[in-house]
Amino acid sequence: MYSLREDNPMLRGIRVSPQWGLQRRSEQITALLQQVLSVCLFPELLHNDTLPVDVRQRAQRLLGECDGGSVGSYTDSCGLPHVQRSVAEFITGRDGGVPSYPHNIFISAGSQIALKVMLKLLVRGKGVSQTGVLTPQPCPHTLPMLLEEVGAVLVPYQLSEEQGWALEPGELHRALTASRGHCRPRALYISNPGIPTGHVQSRKSIEWVIQFAAEERLFLLVNEVYQDCVYGEGMEFMSYKRVLFEMGQQYSEMVELASFHSISNGIIGECGLRTGYMELVNVDPAVMVFAKTLLCTDISAPVTGQIALEIMVNPPRPGDPSHSKYTQEILTNRITLAQNAQRAWEFLIGLPGVSCQPVTGGIFIYPRLSLPPEAVEQARSDGLEAGVLYSQSLLDEEGVCVGAGCEHGQREDKYHIRLCVLTPSATLEKVLACLGSFHLHFLDQFSQHA
């Protein structure tokens, strides 16, 4: 177990880059989203004929769903009913007709808030009866902190880097067995596509996980925020819910599942609008009431974010004036992301002391570093983890911010960095050039100390 608290000496010195954090830039927001939000915030634009008619019609329809016809009002704690319906229709279409229902959709201020709600519902007990959550290693860097906050025990299971970060069946059994006597595992967390590893699960792998969850009576917590960012050759996104229902009633009527999506990630990438959704499957109606009650503590997700979410799940259709431009913008973003991932991978595996599994989905690439023993010793004497020393030095010398692998729960003596590739291609080229120059200097600097 490891801690990501502020007082952890291994993370001392981590800070945000003022230059290249490699997060989505606001200029990449789609024109449709800009236009609809503009009209909703300034309704006089409803009469502006320079805006496409479908933009104004959508904005008018969404304003009509808001109390008082204004985005300044609160919504129901679970979100605008219209947006819940749109999300349910999106999921039904995505899953080949497997039905989704608005009353199972919970709109929240980001997927993290929804995940926290579910964890609060699952966590109970102390000591050997305390709730454990089977968690992949590597995992999203905020997850360990969230589990600690709600009082859950992190039960680590290792993804196989050598097998492209695959989830091997025996590893879940090993992790579950090892946890007995320390806690009581009640949930299994999955990230698909993987964060930060960029792997995409096969249907066979998903089926096995569902069978395992059914046998061990584990609640499935499935992070699917990068579902529209799958670009590996021959790869496609398959939702856990769809696979669950296609496995037959033995599983579709008994396995409890919460899936999460967000506008903060993927092709839309609007982090600041802070909205996502959670769909609950096979959850007792009485428990659903408590989920809604816990969401009330946040009042409601931002209305502007809910509008953006509605656009993400209900884009313009063929024949709409905005359809062609919106479709082209989304396609361009997807092509850029796929090309960036390939370009970064090819560059990184060409550096000495760097290995990297191919990336097939998501927005991160997660290379492994073979650092000189002298660098590891220097980091230890400074009270740092070696990956943190590398990342901090890169930030100080080149202004490039990457995440250290220890944030994600890497194995001891294995060092990784997390690099976001969701950025304009020209920016990525500058970053790779700086990273390459720094890396060679870093290796040379410590090899001279030998």
- For residue 64, tell me if it sits in a domain: no
Mean pLDDT of 349-374: 96
| HEC-encoded secondary structure of the chain | CCCCCCCCHHHCCCCCCCCECCCCCHHHCCHHHHHHHHHHHCHHHHHCCCCCHHHHHHHHHHHHHCHHHCCCCCCCCCCCHHHHHHHHHHHHHHCCCCCCCHHHEEEECCHHHHHHHHHHHHCCCCHHHCEEEEEEECCCCCHHHHHHHHCCEEEEEECEHHHCCECCHHHHHHHHHHHCCCCEEEEEEEECCCCCCCCCCCHHHHHHHHHHHHHHCCEEEEECCCCCCECCCCCCCCCHHHHHHHCCHHHHCCCCEEEEEECCCCCCCCHHHCCEEEEEECCCHHHHHHHHHHHHHHCCCCHHHHHHHHHHHCCCCCCCCCHHHHHHHHHHHHHHHHHHHHHHHHHHCCCCCEECCCCCECCEECCEECCCHHHHHHHHHCCCCHHHHHHHHHHHHHCECCEEHHHHCCCCCCEEEEEECCCCHHHHHHHHHHHHHHHHHHHHHHHCCC
Provide the percentage of residues in the chain whose pLDDT is more than 90: 82
- For residue 48, tell me if it sits in a domain: no
- For residue 33, tell me if it sits in a domain: no
- Give yes or no: residues 287 and 373 share one domain: no
- For residue 388, tell me if it sits in a domain: yes
- At residue 44, the pLDDT reads 96
Range scoring the smallest mean pLDDT among 10-24, 144-158, 182-196, 358-372: 10-24
Cα–Cα nearest to 88, from 76, 71, 105 = 105
Cis link prior to 193 (omega < 30° from 0)? Answer: yes
With a cut of 60, say whether residue 18 has pLDDT above it: no
The mean of the pLDDT values for the chain is 90
Cis link prior to 196 (omega < 30° from 0)? Answer: yes
Where does a domain end: 292, 313, 334? Answer: 313
- pLDDT single digits (tens) 245-288: 999 999 999 999 999 999 987 778 888 888 999 999 999 998 98
With a cut of 80, say whether residue 9 has pLDDT above it: no
With a cut of 90, say whether residue 412 has pLDDT above it: no
- Give yes or no: residues 134 and 275 share one domain: yes
- For residue 44, tell me if it sits in a domain: no
- Give yes or no: residues 303 and 407 share one domain: no
Half-sphere exposure of 260 (CA within 13 A, CB side): 25
- At residue 19, the pLDDT reads 36
- Give yes or no: residues 224 and 368 share one domain: no
Higher-confidence residue of 433 and 273: namely: 433
- At residue 15, the pLDDT reads 37
- Give yes or no: residues 308 and 331 share one domain: no
- Give yes or no: residues 20 and 85 share one domain: no
Higher-confidence residue of 125 and 296: namely: 125
- At residue 48, the pLDDT reads 95
- At residue 299, the pLDDT reads 74
Q: Give 113's contacts (C-beta < 8 A, 6+ positions apart).
A: 276, 295, 298
- For residue 200, tell me if it sits in a domain: yes
- At residue 449, the pLDDT reads 56
Residue 228 belongs to what domain range? Answer: 74-313
- At residue 427, the pLDDT reads 96
Higher-confidence residue of 46 and 31: namely: 46
Mean pLDDT of 41-58: 96
- For residue 81, tell me if it sits in a domain: yes
Q: CB–CB of 440/383 below 8 Å?
A: no
Q: How far apart are CA 159 and CA 213, in angstroms?
A: 17
Between the CA of residue 12 and those of 20, 188, 438, what are the distances in Å?
Answer: 20, 30, 21
Split at pLDDT 50, 70, 90, the class of 448 is low
- Give yes or no: residues 256 and 382 share one domain: no
Instruction: Tell me the CATH number at 400.
Output: 3.90.1150.10
Number of domains in the chain: 2
- Give yes or no: residues 377 and 433 share one domain: yes
Mean pLDDT of 391-405: 95
- pLDDT single digits (tens) 52-101: 999 999 999 999 999 999 999 999 989 999 999 999 999 999 999 999 99
Instruction: Report the sign of the C-alpha dihedral through residues 429, 435, 439, 445, in that order.
Output: positive
Q: CB–CB of 155/409 below 8 Å?
A: no
Amino acid making up residue 418: R
- Give yes or no: residues 166 and 228 share one domain: yes
- Give yes or no: residues 298 and 337 share one domain: no
With a cut of 60, say whether residue 12 has pLDDT above it: no
- For residue 142, tell me if it sits in a domain: yes
Cis link prior to 138 (omega < 30° from 0)? Answer: yes
- At residue 8, the pLDDT reads 37
- Give yes or no: residues 305 and 373 share one domain: no
Where does a domain end: 289, 313, 337? Answer: 313
- At residue 7, the pLDDT reads 40
With a cut of 70, say whether residue 6 has pLDDT above it: no
Where does a domain end: 313, 341, 375? Answer: 313
With a cut of 60, say whether residue 14 has pLDDT above it: no
- Give yes or no: residues 307 and 394 share one domain: no
Instruction: Tell me the CATH number at 152.
Output: 3.40.640.10
